[in-house]
Amino acid sequence: MAPAAHPFNISAPLAALLSAIPVSPPMALKQIAAAGFRDVQIDGRQPGMRPRELDRSARRGLAADLRRLELRPAGIDMWIPPEHFLDSARVDHAVHALLATIDLAGELGRMPVSLALPRPETTDDSWQDVLTTIRDACERCGAVLADHALPLRDTDADETIGAGIDPAALLASGEDPCAAVHARPERVTSARLSDLYGTGMRGPIGAQDGRLDWRGYQVALSVARYNRPVVVDSRQWPEPWAGCRQTLALWTGGGA
């Protein structure tokens, strides 16, 4: 079913995933800028972009490349399996990787780090110590976390952890992405854009069997006064880069 029309169309800027293009990060940045994107989402697990492996010189070089291409860093993805934070054999590596990512996010502009944290019902006292360390790092660096774990968190007093909105994941779990935004307008820290098709596959907006009311999603983010870029989440798309360009054209032009 085609998405319903809405009386107005306010487009938040889109950020392309750096990993959407299977070339070196510097070449990918050039292609993203040339395609008309002004924002880019860094993948912290992409070879050549892992925060723990980027020394000061590499970080300065990345910042210089972004400035030269007039690209703004929108955020960093760090998809560490949540269970790694609860596994005594893996927790140190997971925490060090996340702390390095938080540090880089602070250096590049106090941007959100997207990840999935363990759900409270799965944790024990040791997780609280880990969480305190993570929160302290966010406060020190000025970064924030966007937690994409489902069901979405609703923390009222936590300034370091907000909600991450992934429409395709919400649709797959039987939830309405627009309602999810409306329910927590002050808690949305990072919003993504990916449709879920009737086949159960993820893909760009604009497909005939797409389930996301993407125009309604635009409106919901506008009403919530969401003021960060929307990340084109091209993970698991058959043709990520072509889909990114298609999504940019529809999102900014309001095409059918």
Q: What are the structural domain ranges in the chain?
A: 14-253
Structure tokens at 134: 């993570």
Q: How confident is the model at residue 167 (pLDDT cuts 50, 70, 90)?
A: very high
Q: How far apart are CA 114 and CA 190, in angstroms?
A: 7
| CATH tag, 14-253 | 3.20.20.150
Q: Under a CB-based contact definition with an 8 Å cutoff, are residues 148 and 116 in contact? A: yes
- The pLDDT value recorded for residue 122 is 84
- The pLDDT value recorded for residue 125 is 87
Core vs surface per residue 139-161: b (16+ CB within 10 A) or e: eebebbbbbbbbebbeeeeeebb
Q: How far apart are CA 29 and CA 33, in angstroms?
A: 6
Q: Under a CB-based contact definition with an 8 Å cutoff, are residues 24 and 241 in contact? A: no
For the segment 26-82, what is each residue's pLDDT rounded down to a tens digit? 999 999 999 999 999 999 999 999 999 999 999 999 999 999 999 999 999 999 999
Other C-beta atoms within 10 Å of 47: how many? 10
Q: How confident is the model at residue 145 (pLDDT cuts 50, 70, 90)?
A: very high
Provide, rounded to the nearest whole percent, the portion of the chain with pLDDT above 90. 87
The mean pLDDT value of the chain amounts to 92
Which among 151, 193, 145 is positioned nearest to 168, based on CA atoms?
A: 193
Residue 8 has pLDDT above 50, yes or no: no
Residue 171 has pLDDT above 60, yes or no: yes
For 12-50, give the secondary structure using H, E and C: CCEEEEHHHCCCCHHHHHHHHHHCCCCEEEEECCCCCCC
Residue 5 has pLDDT above 80, yes or no: no
The DSSP letter of residue 197 is B
For the segment 97-144, what is each residue's pLDDT rounded down to a tens digit? 999 999 999 999 989 999 999 988 888 889 999 999 999 999 999 999
In this prediction the pTM is 0.92
**Sign of the Cα pseudo-torsion (3, 232, 147, 140, in order):** negative
In the chain, the amino acid numbered 161 is I
Query: Would you call 22 helix, strand, or coil by DSSP?
Result: coil
Mean pLDDT across the stretch 220-228?
A: 95
Q: At what angle do helices 125-141 and 91-109 cross, to 10 degrees?
A: 20
13 phi-psi bin (left φ>0, alpha ψ -120 to 50, beta other):
beta
Helix (H) or strand (E) holding 133: helix 125-141
Other C-beta atoms within 10 Å of 58: how many? 13
- The pLDDT value recorded for residue 110 is 87
Which among 148, 211, 128 is positioned nearest to 174, based on CA atoms?
A: 211
- The pLDDT value recorded for residue 142 is 93
Q: How far apart are CA 125 and CA 129, in angstroms?
A: 7
